[in-house]
Amino acid sequence: MSTPPNGGIESHFEHPNDERNVKAADALERLASTVDQVDTKLLAVFEEKFADEDSIFLLNEMLRQIGFHTDYVDAADFVQDFIAKALREAVA
């Protein structure tokens, strides 16, 4: 799994008093701390879907929403949601 853009973390440092950025930074750090717990088969599917341009756009959009409009229990939860959304978009 590639390192995600640090939009929430960078925004936190630019606007440290904005609670939304604090929440986003905390959520991204929590996800990053659980990446090594994601099942390797699930990661393989994630990496396969992550390879195309449409999926990269989706991934970036999902990462920007963390802490603002979405929250995930752990990295596996995020990866499963990404795969489901990428598959839905592929058949749409």
- Summarised one tens digit per residue, pLDDT across range 23-60 is 899 999 999 999 999 999 999 988 887 777 888 899 99
- Residue 15: strand, helix, or coil: coil
Average pLDDT, the chain: 83
Least confident of 2-6, 54-58, 75-79, 87-91: 2-6
pTM: 0.76
Domains of the chain, by residue range, sit at: 7-91
Higher pLDDT: 30 or 89? It is 30
pLDDT of 8 strictly over 70: no
pLDDT of 11 strictly over 70: no
Higher pLDDT: 79 or 12? It is 79
How many other C-beta atoms are found inside a 10 Å radius of the C-beta of residue 15?
Answer: 12
